[in-house]
Chain A
Amino acid sequence: MNWLRLLFFLLVVRPAVLFLLGLYVRRGELLPKHGPAIVVANHNSHLDTLVLLSLFPLALLPKVRPVAAADYFLGEGSALGWIARNLIGIIPIRRSGSALQNMRDDPLKGAAEALAGGAILIIYPEGTRGEAEKIAKFKNGVAYLVERFPDVPVTPVYLHGLGKAWPKGERWPVPLLAEVFVGTPLRWCFDRAKFIEKLERRVHAMARHGTFPGWDAEPSAADEKRLLDRER
């Protein structure tokens, strides 16, 4: 099915990302040019994965694999699952499980095997898309993975604007511009908490350079109270 994925990106995703969205990529030359490597990005939208995948040359595309939640994408027999597997090429990962379950069945197995095979993994350490254009706290999974592959470089990326183009909970995307900031790759520093903190700090630092305004006039708690009072 690899040719199908290539065609999908060449004929659908890339033209759409270029014309319907429009990207401004800063320091794109810092993206990994070969595997094994990890790209870590903030996550606000389904568009994030399409945009990140379209940043890599087509020849490299078969190697680039987004790590995604099995529970969300691989519901039984759904069209979403088929798209996620065959067109996007995700590596499914189990998000929840007890310590005992994790010992018996390693949740990072798929990702580790792909890295060992020279893949470029895309990982969203926030774990979910979260609130539009806000960066949630990073989870530790990526540190556990890098600990096993200490030589693999981890490139931080900040995506800006896609949360406005297609936020969580909305049915359709709207054409809006997006920005991609690529940071210098990080190496494993033998301390999980410190590593995650470093990654987080780099993504937050890049976030300060974003151009676009956030949502205007989001009703505050006070406004909601006023509305309720008026209804009464």
Chain B
Amino acid sequence: MRGWFDLHPTLLIAVAGIFGLLVAGSVALWAVKRARPEKDLTELVQRTKSWWVMASIFTVAVLVDRVAGLIFLGAVSFLALKEYLSIIPTRRADRRVLFFLYLAIPIQYYWVGTGWYGMFIIFVPVYMLLFLPLPMLVIGQTQGFLRAVGTLHWGLMVTVFSLSHAAYTLMLPFSRAAAGDWAEPHVGPALMLYLVVLTQLNDVAQWMWGKLFGRHKIIPAVSPNKTWEGFAGGVVTTTALSAALGPWLTPIDAGGAAILGALLGVAGFVGDVTVSALKRDLGLKDTSHFLPGHGGVLDRVDSLTYTAPIFLHYVRYFYYPLPG
């Protein structure tokens, strides 16, 4: 097991960078508050405080060791799934089915932790898909069956399957296919930091570009505050950041990191508006109030549910050529 003191310097600098950004953001917010005391900044202050808490827990979980990272993401999956199951209509008869959904979380993260890629990639999409109807058949209530089996499986795919892809980045350096720079033990945590930080910064960048220059609505029926300017500005920012950070933090070359940045920017946006569509359908503003200033856990990881699978498969396909 890795100790605290033999952490790779790159990781430490990356974490210092995250907290440097938080300090800069907090100082900027404090300056705005002093310059314009009449403005109500309560939500922004709450949001910044929540960022501090989230960043602290996340960096500790990623740096300590792989098991801590997996438990952390498993807990995020649990909180997101719990929110989802609380806000969607479920049938009373399916209470027992909900147990199996929760049970799928430790099983899925166990496949991740053992590095059993084949099982990790089919367990939820195939085996849970095949299994979920069984307890429903035993219970025997057919009214609402289609809706129940569809909504429950979709929620499991988004909150557990997709998010567990972020956890799988921790396993990449242990893959047998890894060679050269990729075999270094710090690559896993570095990939995880890279994915999560870029995804969250992309959210912030899209929000800031939209606030500053937003004119033309991009998808008014789903998310009336999203604009083309915010979207484009966010994607360009994330592409540039990725091209600069990728080669330093990970073994990905600058060109590949730029393409990856653009992919993450677009995927993050799609994840964000997908969860927005879900909330709009249910008539909600936030999925919960777990994170003051942000809303629910699902609100926070909405973009990650799209970026994590794209990121993992991009890296696996282009940088981990499997033998044979």
Contact = CB atoms under 8 A, between A and B. Distances in A.
Interface of A: 22, 24, 132, 161, 164, 167, 170, 172, 174-177, 211-219, 223
Nearest to B284: A211
Contacts of B82: 22, 175-177
A192 B150 CA distance: 50
A174 B87 CA distance: 14
Contacts of B86: 161, 164, 176-177, 212
Given A24-B289, A216-B91, A176 B85 contact: yes
Nearest to A211: B284
Could you say which interface size class chain B belongs to?
A: 20 to 34
A172 B99 CA distance: 10
Secondary structure of the B contact surface, majority rule: helix
B95 A174 contact: yes
Nearest to A220: B143
Contacts of A211: 87, 284
B143 A223 contact: yes
B90 interface: yes
B241 interface: no
B79 interface: yes
Nearest to A21: B82
Interface in B122-145: 141, 143-144
B92 A213 contact: no
Contact of A175 (B91, B102, B148): B102
B92 A132 contact: yes
B314 interface: no
Contacts of B95: 170, 174
Nearest to A219: B143
Interface string B72-97: 00000011001101111111100100
Contacts of B91: 215-218
B132 to A, nearest CB: 15
B147 interface: yes
A132 B83 CA distance: 19
Given A167-B92, A176-B85, A216 B148 contact: yes
A213 B91 CA distance: 10
A168 to B, nearest CB: 12
12 contacts: A22-B288, A24-B289, A170-B95, A172-B99, A174-B98, A174-B102, A177-B86, A213-B87, A215-B92, A216-B90, A217-B91, A217-B144
Interface in B90-115: 90-92, 95, 98-99, 102
A211 to B, nearest CB: 7
Nearest to B90: A216
Q: Please indicate which of the listed interface residues A24, A170, A215 has the most CB atoms of chain B within 10 Å of its own CB.
A: A215
A172 B102 CA distance: 14
Contacts of B147: 216-217
Contacts of A212: 86-87
A161 B85 CA distance: 11
A36 to B, nearest CB: 32
Nearest to B288: A177
A227 B91 CA distance: 18
Q: Please indicate which of the listed interface residues A172, A175, A212, A217 has the most CB atoms of chain B within 10 Å of its own CB.
A: A217
Contacts of B21: none
B290 interface: yes
A24 B79 CA distance: 14
Nearest to A18: B290
A213 B143 contact: no
Contacts of B87: 177, 211-213
